[in-house]
Structure 1
């Protein structure tokens, strides 16, 4: 085999599906322009069936009403894990659709975790930010999403993470969580967490674990570490895996000390360290090792995802490339997908959602490039799909953006989708290899977007202050008015935040502002009608409150006179029509 081919096969282990296709077949089983199941069948039978069953998608952006996602929610049903794919890593629209679906599933279906095709250590850092607010997500992403993961370093993912944090601020007792399930890199924080646990719970193991991990804890940036790991001698890589395996075995052999939770997390962090070492212990220069290495990688991603599901008890959204999430594969170099493992272990509890598109542009690197850096990323135009391809037919449905439950599609559509046909699956590099996908066997739902755009790349400079405006825009909830009138539906998010609170303080930036007092009045009206509040306490003398309370209970006295007599001197700015309206 030519050296360049060997290098590309090795790169497939590290550059997300840059080479290895998702569900390719050795030869097309149909769909060519002159075959009976080609365009004639599409025009006469398949397209009308697709047209009837397709559900229009209002937008791929994560904003606005979600009524159009109602059928999507019904298709999800009782699934505990929903894998939402992408037909290109460097696309804006696939990530924003996943963000939109995540919001819907969180708010309407009780999902509470998001798992991404990223390293376990990256997920651990972002999860800590979501739970505590400590750290800068832009900086974490800049430091973690490098080399094979550089296309994750985008505004779209940052927006999603900031929305998740805003949700947690509003729901501190029911937070969203974030995990990475991949095994390309294990950051220093994982080593630190394992060693700290051993020091506290199993101090007799500390010398052995410290020695086994000596020299393995990364001390250079992610990109440089991955580059060094891929070029280190095979014997050295296998020796690392032997050491991480021994450390893991020592920890697993010990019963939990302290809380079971502490021990379980420490074992999982040690497992992630070992998974990375074992990935690089494959002979990356031997094309014959690629199928086993890819099967190992996808099994690891499934194992980590399932561990997270079991540990948290959460229903979760899984984000990754279509090729990893498909439930079927006929690719020799990808003999087992994450989706297959999840389907085997969860059955219908796993739902696979494939993404497709007509044309547009993506960010990617040059074909076959190993160890990419930011300067290697280019904008590539993707032309409309060729006749005979899956997308060529899907793109003829009249809706610009739509989705379809393949399990309940009309027979004509199911028969056509059950045949492997060309489908673009763009990984990190471009152009993509020629893939063949039988969608009916590979996914439960398909989402088709007519046009996609490239992701919005972020500045890598970690010293650049994070711009708070996008996060504020994502978290802000519009007010219909500050005036004390109905309807109150725009205040429902405030009611959700109030939850079971017994006392709500509503401030003023200035004492003499009409709008602040009017908003206090409106909010009190909402809380009275929707949340059962029954008292209002004002920054005023106690005697004023006693007299006004007597008026409210008995009707005796004139509130205007009471306010005139009571609200003087330091309280004169409270002697306003706005407060009188509230009292009345």
Structure 2
């Protein structure tokens, strides 16, 4: 196929993207699906967050979605959840809950766009019964020690008979000073681990769940305690997997996130919008990740729930600027994002359309450019613009990786709530997205 034919097919599928009403074709494609996973091509771009929030508002208002689940830590996001659901004693302004996030990179959720959305969500919930209010939840696996402390506090107040087991688990981790790297290194040198202690906490908490839940004054608080226990189990597994390589730890993380999503679906009985990086919500089988032994949230959702009940929405941008760190744990900075390199997906969309556009992919008989492998830019919390010539791109069959795609010509950085603080926790990670 010639470049001219490619461009004609791209223009035929493109729809202008200027206002929330332009998302109508995507709402039609979503239909009755219970899970909509919406990506981002970076963790530091205003337009990705703003369009994702606009889509989510419409899904909540028009399609009855009641769960927003994000690539964030459970304890941090549960504080936000309590605020947006107007729980007694919670922050009256969700900004306060978001500003309190202390794990690097704080700008992922502590930024003006997320504040605007969460304030809207609180106003939306204010006129609704407790059962009908939409919530905000975290899916990630990094909060081992925060989750353990939250769990012990809940057990002390509600199930003191299990506090001893939780404290023994915490004591197992304490020699490592709440440092994941120290724990991973120690496990590499010795076969001993805290796995048994962590699993015992989860087993004890979930024992006789139905009977205990029926007695609980706050079922959601108990559900949160169970999620914190699950984080402890999987975070311990994640840190041990670090010594096996990036694919092993990546898979622990993405499987954990889908397990949390499944529990949220069961707990709420509602519909879920997922906010994560493209690298997670896209289907790994349409990239070079699958040959490397990696699975993704998008792939697992399709496998567990079927393609008819799951819609994956990707993002991309041609040029602009972004908030990111020059290395893992570094202070955030504003960086320029150069025009997409020749031959990439973003360059094709720029050359063919040259304006912000929505693409909703046909379910069958896709045009050739959607079925061909193209380089697709991915910027994580770490970004090095000097690598644009040979890195920063994921080979992608777009029509298989997503069900729809939003292309943006010019992008700008998020506005963080604060600069990174010296005492903020930097998680151990094998990847930077």
CA contact (8 A) 1:119 1:186 kept: no
Q: Distance in 2 between matches of 1:397 and 1:311?
A: 45
User: What residue in structure 1 maps to residue 53 of structure 2?
Assistant: 99
Following TM superposition, by how much is the alpha carbon of 1:122 offset from its aligned partner in structure 2, in angstroms? 1.6
Displacement of 1:230 in angstroms is 6.2
- SS of the residue corresponding to residue 147 of structure 1 reads coil
State the shift of 1:84 in Å.
0.6
Confirm or deny: 8 A CA contact 1:389 1:421 kept in the other structure: yes
- Per-residue CA shift, 1:411-450, capped at 9, x if unaligned? 5x63222121111111111135342111111110011111
Tell me which of 186, 210, 218 is aligned to 2:167: 210
Q: Which residue of 1 aligns with 2:320?
A: 360
Q: Please, which moves more after superposition, 324-333 or 95-104?
A: 324-333
- Worse overlay, 242-251 or 300-309: 242-251
The 1-side partners of 2:191 and 2:142 are apart by 13
How many angstroms apart in 2 are the aligned matches of 1:124 and 1:324? 21
CA contact (8 A) 1:248 1:271 kept: yes
Where does residue 3 of structure 2 map in the other structure? 42
* Aligned partner of 1:418 among 357, 371, 388: 371
Secondary structure at the counterpart of residue 301 of structure 1: helix
Do the aligned residues in 2 keep the contact of 1:92 with 1:156 (CA within 8 Å)? yes
Gaps of 5+ in 1: 1-36, 60-65, 463-584
Q: Secondary structure at the residue paired with 1:387?
A: coil
**Compared CA separation, residues 301 and 255, structure 1 to 2 (3 A):** closer
Deviations 1:339-361 (A, max 9, x none): 11100011121110010111111
Q: Secondary structure at the match of 1:259?
A: helix
**Per-residue CA distance 1:37-88 (angstroms, 9 max, x = gap):** 4xxx231x222222122121114xxxxxx33222111011111111110111
Q: Secondary structure at the match of 1:392?
A: helix
RMSD between aligned residues: 2.9
Instruction: Specify the alignment match of 1:452 in structure 2.
Output: 411
- In structure 1, the residue matched to 2:381 is 428
Asked if 1:177 corresponds to 2:135, the answer is yes
Q: Counterparts of 2:143 and 2:186 in 1: how far apart (Å)? A: 15
Could you tell me which of 329, 336, 345 is aligned with 1:390?
A: 345
Query: Helix, strand or coil: the match of 1:351?
Result: strand
Kept in 1, the 8 Å contact 2:238–2:253? The answer is: yes
Distance 1:243 1:235 in 2: 19
3-state SS in 2 of match to 1:122: helix
Partners of 1:344 and 1:426 in 2: how far apart? 26
> 1:80–1:299: structure 2 CA closer, same or farther, 3 Å change rule?
same
The answer on 1:405 being equivalent to 2:360 is: yes
Greater mean deviation of Cα atoms: 139-148 or 101-110: 139-148
Report what 2:112 is aligned to.
155
The equivalent residue for 2:281 is: 325
Instruction: For 2:267 and 2:224, locate their aligned partners in 1 and report how far apart those are by CA, in whole Å.
Output: 9
TM-score (norm 2): 0.84
In the alignment, does 2:366 pair up with 1:442? no
2:255 paired with 1:299:
yes
Superposed, 1:150-299 pairs within 5 Å as 150-173=107-130, 174-186=132-144, 188=146, 191-193=149-151, 196-197=154-155, 200-201=158-159, 203-214=160-171, 216=173, 234=188, 239-260=193-214, 261=219, 264-282=223-241, 284=242, 286=243, 288-299=244-255
Distance (whole Å) between structure 1 residues aligned to residue 21 and residue 398 of structure 2: 26
- The two structures have a TM-score, normalised by structure 1, of 0.63
Aligned 8 A contact 2:148 2:232 in 1: yes
Q: What's the CA shift for 1:111?
A: 1.1
CA distance in 2, matches of 1:50, 1:190: 50
Aligned length: 402
Instruction: Considering Cα pairs closer than 8 Å and 6+ residues apart, tell me whether 1 or 2 has the greater RCO.
Output: 2
Q: Secondary structure at the match of 1:436?
A: strand
Matched residues in 2 for 1:235 and 1:166: separation?
A: 52
Q: Where does structure 2 lack aligned partners over 5 or more consecutive residues?
A: 385-390, 422-433
Q: Is the 8 A contact 1:141 1:153 kept in 2?
A: yes
For residue 62 of structure 1, what is the aligned residue in structure 2? none
CA distance in 1, matches of 2:209, 2:262: 22
Q: Which secondary structure state, in structure 1, belongs to the residue aligned with residue 362 of structure 2?
A: helix
